[in-house]
Amino acid sequence: MNGVTKGHLEKRKRADVFFRVLATASAATVLLSLLLILGTILWKSVPALSLSMLTQTPKGGFYLGKEGGILNAILGSLYLAVGATVLAFLLSLPLALYLNLYKGRASKTAVWTRFFLDVLWGVPSIVYGAFGFVVMLALGLRASLLAGMLTVALLEFPIMCRAIDEVMRLVPLELKEASDSLGATRFETALKVMARQCAPGILTGVLLAFGRGIGDAASVLFTAGFTDRIPSSLADPAATLPLAIFFQLGTPFPEVQQRAYASAAVLTLIILLISLAGRAMSRKVTRHVVR
């Protein structure tokens, strides 16, 4: 082997090693940024995290650094996200079933509907907020728990629907044929075979959308309002955790900003819990699944 080819080989080898290191470093960057975010939030929250913070509503002067907690926002967010998720589910499940059982999976309707769902997924939440606001004005509604729920439901709908649809697309068609051959109507096949077969996947999709809904701030800014009290009816305005964080961080007082960190930690823990629950459940709720 002469010197020229040897040098050439060396160069190729060096490029190979270089890019292997670069790619590994990039993947590590992604992992590290997640750890850095979680670590910073949790570490910064420790001084302000207390039980009274979780169990009390804001007292007078809360935003000046006085007594109180963020119970109003925690409950407000939970009510809002649960309501929105139920509404979104009522739309998503039928639509996913329709696309997979009633229309062929690759039919024109299915392709176009998926396309629009993907487009909706990409619509920024502030636009949903503005749209919800426009509709509210048109109907003469005020900022309320209900208006927030409806807006967040719109936001969650494409996320949940696409997640469920992806799972249903993997179900073998033989299962449907078997059900048909037993004389079941399509509706019965849909509910008793398809929905049950996909139960774990549906649950994961629901939790995914729930997490997105509870963490979103821009869409509830216009529509749900903000209050220091716990909402007692659908027509009341409701505080939400993301907005509570935002407002607390916006004050010039260090004590209140500390609480913003603590509130952010609470929200992060809720999200972590949901994502862990989703993982655990998708493994457990497989009792009725045909393999």
Partner 1 sequence: MRLLKDALARRAMGFVAALPGILVLLIVIGLFLKSKAILGVEPLSRLLFSSAWHPLKGQFGLLPFITGTVWVTVTALVLAVPVSILAAIYLSEYAPRWVRESAKPVVDLLAGLPSVVYGVWGVILVVPFVGGVLAPLAGVYSSGYSILAGGIVLAIMTFPTIIHVTLEVFASVPGSLRDASLSLGATKWETTRHVVLRKGAQGILAASVLGFSRAFGETMAVLMVVGNVPAVPRSLFDAGYPLPALIANNYGEMMSIPRYDAALMMAALVLMLIVLFFNVLARRILVRVEKRVR
Q: Check binding of 247 to partner 1 (CB under 8 A).
A: no
Q: Which stretch binds partner 1 (CB under 8 A): 47-55, 80-88, 171-179, 209-217?
A: 209-217
Q: How many helices (H) and strands (E) does the chain have?
A: 13, 0
Q: Check binding of 267 to partner 1 (CB under 8 A).
A: yes
Which one among 124, 182, 280, 286 touches partner 1, defined by CB under 8 A? 124
Which one among 275, 277, 281, 285 touches partner 1, defined by CB under 8 A? 275
Q: How far is CA 141 from CA 112, 146, 222, 225, 239, in A?
A: 33, 10, 12, 12, 17
- Report the Cα 229 to chain-centroid distance in Å: 25
Residues 51-80 that bind partner 1 (CB under 8 A): none
Which one among 6, 8, 10, 40 touches partner 1, defined by CB under 8 A? 40
**Shortest distance in whole angstroms from residue 128 CB to partner 1:** 8
| Residue with smaller CB distance to partner 1, 17 or 59 | 17
Burial class (CB in 10 A: 0-12, 13-18, 19+), 116: exposed
Question: Which amino acid type is present at position 73?
Answer: A
Nearest residue to 209 (alpha-carbon basis) of 46, 92, 54, 55: 92
Mutual orientation of helices 199-215 and 71-97 as an angle, nearest 10°?
A: 140
| Residue with smaller CB distance to partner 1, 40 or 286 | 40
Q: Check binding of 12 to partner 1 (CB under 8 A).
A: yes
User: Mask: binding to partner 1, 143-172, rule CB under 8 A, as x and -?
Assistant: -----------x---x--x-----------
Q: Hey, what are 251's tokens?
A: 């004050």
Distance CA 166, CA 146 (A): 30
| Residue with smaller CB distance to partner 1, 27 or 289 | 27
Which one among 15, 86, 170, 280 touches partner 1, defined by CB under 8 A? 15
**Shortest distance in whole angstroms from residue 23 CB to partner 1:** 4
Contact 68, 58 (CB under 8 A): yes
Nearest residue to 86 (alpha-carbon basis) of 234, 225, 226: 234
Which one among 1, 4, 5, 122 touches partner 1, defined by CB under 8 A? 122
Q: Which stretch binds partner 1 (CB under 8 A): 13-21, 51-59, 67-75, 79-87?
A: 13-21
Contact 290, 175 (CB under 8 A): yes
